[in-house]
Every structure is written in structure tokens, then in C-alpha cells.
């Protein structure tokens, strides 16, 4: 890779592209799954949204640890997505808390 590819400007553009890609993934999944990560149906699990996201993060860490050659999904991208969802959930909970004061 040439040194030009590693300039601050190029790195920042790549950061933006990766973040935009993850945002698009999260928005698409949110639409497909009906906001189930932050507003679960609670059919079987009664755990809080944060705890449910933590379980999903644990599952992704297990997939990364045990990654197979025939892996068919981008586990690292999913992992980043769940961490972002957790941040969003915490932010919304804090907003809700401040509104109810």
C-alpha cells in the first residue's frame, strides 16, 4: 500500500465509509426486525434491552473465538453494530430518565 493511502484525509474518508456502512446495516436490520433490539417483544425473555444486547454481544464474541472457515457473515461488523445499539439504548434510557424527573 502506498504512503498516500495512509494520509490523515484518506483515513478519515475510510472511517466515514465504514461508519456509514454500519449505520445502514443497523437501520436496515431495525426495519426488518421491527426494532426488536431496543423494544423486544418479551415473548420468552423478560430481560432488559441492555441485558439482551449484552447476550448478543457475548454470542458474537463466541462466534469470533470459534470462527470457522465457512463463516457466512461479518461477525465483527455485527459486533460493532450491537455495541452501537447498546450506546443508543443507554442514551435513550438516560433521556427517558431525565424526562421523568
pLDDT of residue 1: 61
Residues 2-58: pLDDT tens digits?
678 899 999 999 999 999 999 999 999 999 999 999 998 889 999 999 999 999 999
Q: Can you spell out the DSSP letters for 72-95?
A: -S-HHHHHHHHHHHHHHHHHHHHH
Which residues have C-beta within 8 Å of that of residue 95, sequence separation ≥ 6?
A: none
Q: Where are the domains of the chain?
A: 3-99
**What pTM value is reported for the model?**
0.85
pLDDT band at 64; cut points 50, 70, 90 = confident
Cα(17)–Cα(47) distance, integer angstroms: 34
Amino acid at each position: 500500500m502506498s504512503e498516500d493511502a495512509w494520509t490523515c484525509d484518506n483515513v478519515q474518508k475510510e472511517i466515514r465509509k465504514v461508519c456509514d456502512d454500519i449505520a445502514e446495516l443497523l437501520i436496515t436490520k431495525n426495519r426488518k426486525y421491527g426494532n426488536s433490539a431496543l423494544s423486544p417483544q418479551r415473548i420468552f425473555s423478560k430481560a432488559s434491552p441492555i441485558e439482551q444486547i449484552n447476550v448478543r454481544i457475548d454470542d458474537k464474541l463466541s462466534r469470533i473465538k470459534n470462527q470457522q472457515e465457512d463463516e457466512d457473515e461479518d461477525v465483527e461488523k455485527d459486533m460493532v453494530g450491537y455495541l452501537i445499539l447498546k450506546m443508543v439504548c443507554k442514551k435513550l434510557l438516560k433521556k427517558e430518565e431525565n424526562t421523568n424527573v
